[in-house]
Structure 1
Amino acid sequence: MDDQLLKILRCPSSGNKLIPIDADSVKNVDLDKGLSSKAMAYFNKGQSKVILLNIDSKIAYPVIDSIPMIDTAHLIDMND
């Protein structure tokens, strides 16, 4: 994904920066065990290669074909 695009991505509800993670980089992000497990389960289902994670609110947005799907229909609530 284009680096410039990543720099301006913000969570629509909070304005917080969204962090791109994939199945490899999720291990390097400081997430609690439950959150990390949920992210890995999502990748294991083949739902998306990358998610944009708003760590503060524990909400993630899938990235489909390099386009962030920032839409309530595509939210992953990592708290569930």
Structure 2
Amino acid sequence: MAKVDKARYERETKTSTPPKGETKEKFKDPNAPKRPPSAFFLFCSEYRPKIKGEHPGLSIGDVAKKLGEMWKNTAADNKQP
């Protein structure tokens, strides 16, 4: 019984095609306002030039790591936008 069922299953999976779902195209409104930057983005835009000035040899990734560490050590009161 199992061999017959397995053969039927394999035969059906070879011949069947998955149903095609409708794809919805999402159009972005060109006049829609931009989202406001998060508190972390505001923090980064303020402190990135300072870090680059202190450590001009750091790569982009290292600057991002430094900013992440600074953000992590910042008090919760200062993280409000």
Q: TM-score range by the shorter chain?
A: under 0.3
More strand by share: 1
Normalised by the size of structure 1, how large is the TM-score?
0.27
Question: Higher relative contact order by CA 8 Å / sep ≥ 6: 1 or 2?
Answer: 2
Normalised by the size of structure 2, how large is the TM-score?
0.26
